[in-house]
Structure 1
Amino acid sequence: MQIPIRSVGPAAAFLFLVQGLKLLNAPGLRRYVWFPILINVVLYSAGFWLASRYFTAAMHWLVPAWLDWLRWLLWPLFALLLLATAFFTFTLMTNLLGSPLYGRLTEQVRRLQASGQIAAPGSEHSALASLFSESRRLGYFALRALPLLALFLIPLINVIAPFLWMLFGAWSLSLDYMAYPLEARGLLFKEQRDVVRKRRLDMLAFGGAVMLGLAIPLLNIFIPPAAVIGATLYILEAERRGEAL
């Protein structure tokens, strides 16, 4: 499997996700792809059912009767808050449930990129160390997501809150999906964060592409495994160019 993208940078980072979508059904990869996609179908179907059933009730609960005169303004605000929370929660659950196969998917992409040859294994680290790295990453996201969500409730500031949330979402998604190929090289959370920080524009472009894909119904089912493939291809290309991680 030869990858046509031979550059890195913001534009190429976006294209790596597109390439990941094209390779979802590639021989040797599909066994690691379709079970996570099934998980996504179940989770998003459950989310859609819950939203359609309880959204109006949640809005009535969040907007008390004495604020009825402001309901026209508060409903869109609380709707954005609920959607942002649901987006973050379902993405987290999807990645958590699919993570055992995403690590294998990363390794298989490396092997296929080597034209079918078995790739040299990355540095080994214990399952406990990987679990610690995952917990650090989840804590990192939560500590920053909660204050950002609170900004939606502050007058005037809530005007820029959606833009800050989108930037945070792009950054978090890039860090989350780049973790799989970087962990395969023995890098834990702190080292992964350092790698991502060195390539801020690339990572925002890649994470923004992932976030856009996750916002599109039906396409969002295929985005998580495609993002794992795209992140792996990005790291492989950076290594091929001799860039230090």
Structure 2
Amino acid sequence: MPAAPVLSGPQYLREGLKLVLSPGLRLFVLLPLTVNLILFATLIGFAVQQFGGWVDAFMPSLPSWLSFLEYVLWPLFVVLVLLMVFFSFTLLANIIAAPFNGFLAEKVEVVVRGGDHFPPFSWAELMAMVPRTLGREARKLAYFLPRAVALLILSFIPVVNLLAAPLWLLFGVWMMAVQYIDYPADNNKMSWQDMLAWLREKRWQSLSFGGITYAALLIPLVNVFIMPAAVAGATVFWVRERGEGAVTKAQP
């Protein structure tokens, strides 16, 4: 019996984790994993130093007679800053690791579709993917920035900014689905607009996958290791949700 759409996301991420831990694919995981480890260590150190100042910047100024509300609002704005910082750092990590993630998605798809063997590693194939994958990341950035700026402006408007944290969370969940499922979609030459339209058709499955990925990436240290699993899980999502034989594997 097939899993319900809201339950399929955890299933795909779990399958992705199993795949990246398999002996034949470990080599393709080490490259993005190393990049993410270095980047996250650097960015976490920076965030720890600046975090208090960022929370103070977003906290609204209240008159003295409402000062008691600061104790109520402070946790909300801590969560808001955490969501913004986490998502910005994750986006940057994915931009830097994009060629490695695209390469990993390509190899995972071969395995998921029933390849007889694990494909050999090729630096030439990896380098050939760099211009295309970075171009696609630029397209994601163009999609992300106007919406993030709108949410950022909303975060500074008193009273209205109480909605900012849940909206950032929902947007982050959607972007996690977009970010990772785009790797196999791009490998299969699906256009950006067609990919978004397909994800909207699979809205609940997409939000389920994005939500479980978002939650896993919020866990310190675990988030570094979950990124390759998310790439593999998104590839499983792509193959299964598109249907067997629905997609022709793109040639390198």
TM bucket normalised to smaller = 0.7 to 0.9
Alpha-carbon distance change, 242 to 164 in structure 1, aligned in 2, over 3 angstroms:
farther
Alpha-carbon distance change, 128 to 20 in structure 1, aligned in 2, over 3 angstroms:
closer
Name the CA distance, whole Å, in 2 between partners of 1:55 and 1:239: 42
Instruction: Please give the secondary structure, in 2, of the residue aligned with 1:187.
Output: coil
Contact 2:36 2:93 in 1 (8 A): yes
Contact 1:169 1:211 in 2 (8 A): yes
The share of aligned pairs that are identical, in percent, is 34
Name the CA distance, whole Å, in 2 between partners of 1:92 and 1:236: 24
- Is 1:38 matched with 2:28? no
- Is 1:152 matched with 2:155? yes
**Residue in 2 aligned with 1:192?**
195
Match for residue 23 of structure 2 among 20, 27, 31: 27
Name the CA distance, whole Å, in 2 between partners of 1:134 and 1:44: 19
> Alpha carbon RMSD of aligned pairs, Å?
3.0
Instruction: Please give the secondary structure, in 2, of the residue aligned with 1:23.
Output: helix
**Residue in 2 aligned with 1:122?**
none
Contact 1:170 1:204 in 2 (8 A): yes
Match for residue 142 of structure 2 among 123, 136, 139: 139
Cα deviation, residue 88, structure 1? 2.0
Structure 2 length-normalised TM: 0.79
1:149-188 aligned at under 5 Å gives the runs 149-188=152-191
**Residue in 2 aligned with 1:52?**
48
Match for residue 219 of structure 2 among 213, 216, 220: 216
Contact 2:102 2:187 in 1 (8 A): yes
Alpha-carbon distance change, 116 to 126 in structure 1, aligned in 2, over 3 angstroms:
closer
Name the CA distance, whole Å, in 2 between partners of 1:9 and 1:244: 21
Cα deviation, residue 143, structure 1? 0.9
Which amino acid in 2 is paired with 1:26? S
Contact 2:154 2:164 in 1 (8 A): yes
- Is 1:14 matched with 2:17? no
Alpha-carbon distance change, 58 to 137 in structure 1, aligned in 2, over 3 angstroms:
closer
Cα deviation, residue 57, structure 1? 4.5
Structure 1's unaligned 5+ residue stretches are 120-124
Name the CA distance, whole Å, in 2 between partners of 1:68 and 1:52: 29
Name the CA distance, whole Å, in 2 between partners of 1:153 and 1:62: 6
- Greater shift, 157-166 or 170-179, is seen at 157-166
Name the CA distance, whole Å, in 2 between partners of 1:104 and 1:208: 24
Name the CA distance, whole Å, in 2 between partners of 1:27 and 1:205: 28
Aligned length: 235
Structure 1 length-normalised TM: 0.81
**Residue in 2 aligned with 1:94?**
93
